[in-house]
Amino acid sequence: LNTKEDAQIATKTQVSRTSQKAKTMSLINLRRKVESPLSSNQEVILDRRSSGWEYAFNSPLIDDIVWQVPQNLDADKLELSHKGTAPFGFGSSRRLLPAPVKTYLKPSEGVIFKRYFYVEKPEDFKSFGIKVASDNAAAIYINGKLIDEDPMMKMKDGHGFEYWNREKDDIPTRMVRKGRNTLVVLLGSEKESTGAYMDLMIIGNK
């Protein structure tokens, strides 16, 4: 290198290449985590990015339910006027892998989602599991029973989404009925929030 300026340019180029390599590896690792295959003794019951969801937000009743996170919830009494496909969300992102939002939400104090899923032979499984990606946080119900609540549900800012924020693999088979089952998700949020996100999977463990 002939000059100080040449040295500075070379240094900046090396830093840029190192930073780009780190970003590329981070992106590859994130994709592997999201798309990693299940083990041979696992079966997808409800895949991520699923369609057929009902949801609603911006009502006093929904705000109260999301804040309270009751132990039991009568899903049949929920009046959810919107339909959509996961992932749900809104907001800008600086992530290397932007949020793959299919259905856009609006800022609110919380959202309730409902979807049916089907299991023909629950007895074929030892247990069931869920994987949840949420922003700010989520609580999950199966057939009206609370089966998981993110500890950040009632915290002001919660957390950003990750695949996966929450994983639970020990849901007893007695929680799942033969045939149709009801899944409800409470998504904690705030009207001042700059973003929200929800996606999940249900897995059967054999």
* Domain residue ranges in the chain: 1-36, 42-205
How far apart are alpha carbons 139 and 151 in whole angstroms? 9
Q: What pLDDT score was predicted for residue 28?
A: 47
How would you write the pLDDT of the chain (206 residues) with one tens digit per residue?
A: 456 565 555 555 554 555 566 555 554 455 545 555 688 899 999 999 999 999 999 999 999 999 999 999 998 899 899 999 999 999 865 555 566 899 999 989 999 999 999 999 999 999 999 999 998 899 999 999 999 999 988 776 678 888 898 999 999 999 999 999 999 999 998 888 888 999 999 999 99
3-state secondary structure of 142: strand
CB crowding 110-131: b at 16 or more within 10 Å, else e: bbbbbbeeebeebeebebbbbb
- Say which residues have a Cβ less than 8 Å from residue 110's Cβ, sequence separation at least 6: 57, 62, 63, 65, 66, 67, 186, 187, 188, 189
Among 52, 177, 65, 70, CA closest to 116 = 52
How far apart are alpha carbons 87 and 134 in whole angstroms? 10
Q: State the first-to-last Cα distance of the chain, in angstroms, to the nearest integer.
A: 63
Q: What pLDDT score was predicted for residue 49?
A: 94
CATH code of the domain occupying 42-205:
2.60.120.260
